[in-house]
Amino acid sequence: MSTLLADAVEKVAEEGGHAAEHGAGHGGGEASGAEIIHHITDTQVWHFFKDVEIHLPEFHLFGLDLSISKHVLMLWISGALVFLLFRGMAKSMQREKAGIARGGFALFEMLVLFVRDEIAIKSMGEKLGRKLTPFLLTTFFFILFANLLGLIPFMATATGNVSATAALAVMVFILVQVQGVIHNGAMGYIKSFIPSGVPAPLAAIIFPIEILSQFTRHFALCIRLFANMIAGHVVILSLITLIFVFGTVLISPFSVGLALFIYLLEILVAFIQAYIFTMLAAMFIGMAAHPEH
């Protein structure tokens, strides 16, 4: 996304006259649409600048395509950043007698305490909240880093891939069911789908709805993250391609200026979406473990 932002400014300077000649009247809209799709879809080619690119390795095993794509690479980088962050925080706290992180790690410690106290414990209770804080912290920072990587030139947003967000939602779904059974028993968890005192005819209607809601809420968890992350990218790319659609550099101050504003707003969105996913995950787990609350 940010790569296209830089490329667009360069193209405006180099190809302004050409764009004016072959703009909207000669398929500019189709070219711009293709350019947007190219920058938001997953590929096995990692582009740098104009003529520099890296072809990522392809793997096929038993008919399955296990090739490394750009989004897969971003997921690996996000996971490595999470590991390095917590390893660095742990070492920093070990060096301090008070057990407090110093330097840049102090900022991340504030986020750790926020996730533990304001999300995990408030949504799931003291005991379960502290137990599952590591999972929620990993989820929060993994999504955050994946979101922020998409704002760095030559990188990509893995959370703009529905397969990645679906995998995250499936892990939360499994954990919700496991915790529900652990804390209530298999039959007790199933009975919790029906409120006490509900007449049998009404219970026959509520029960399948509650079963369906177990899937729809996690489907929404997946789509919400995916849609919000990809929407900002599409808006920025659309604003930039307006220059080539209209075929004039006169619109560039408006397009580039507004795109830069949305770009800065995307930094805030990266944090908000990581928070929302983590908060909803904690709420779903808490609702399953403590249905009476």
Placement of tokens 């060096």 in the chain:
95
Q: What pLDDT sits at residue 293?
A: 61
The arithmetic mean of pLDDT across residues 69-91, rounded, is 91
Predicted TM-score of the model (pTM): 0.84
Placement of tokens 């919400």 in the chain:
224
Least confident range of 90-94, 164-168, 200-204, 235-239: 90-94
Q: What pLDDT sits at residue 80?
A: 96
- At 51, phi and psi to the nearest 5? -115, 10
pLDDT(247) > 80: no
Placement of tokens 């180099």 in the chain:
14
- Tens of pLDDT along 99-150? 676 777 778 888 999 999 999 999 999 999 999 999 999 999 999 999 999 8
pLDDT(216) > 90: yes
Domain boundaries, the chain: 2-289
Provide the percentage of residues in the chain whose pLDDT is more than 90.
41
- The first and second tokens of residue 203, run together, are 């219970």
Q: What pLDDT sits at residue 179?
A: 94
* C-alpha distances in Å from residue 165, one per residue of 66, 157, 158: 18, 11, 8
Q: Which of 44-53, 93-102, 144-153, 246-255 has the highest mean pLDDT?
A: 144-153
Does 14 or 83 have the greater pLDDT score? 83
pLDDT(248) > 90: no
The arithmetic mean of pLDDT across residues 49-67, rounded, is 77
Average per-residue pLDDT for the chain:
82
Q: Which of 3-12, 30-39, 82-91, 279-288 has the highest mean pLDDT?
A: 279-288
pLDDT(16) > 70: no
What is the spatial distance between Cα 83 and Cα 165, in angstroms, rounded to a whole number? 20
Non-local CB neighbours of 262 within 8 Å, separated by 6+ positions: 232, 235, 236, 239
The arithmetic mean of pLDDT across residues 260-287, rounded, is 94
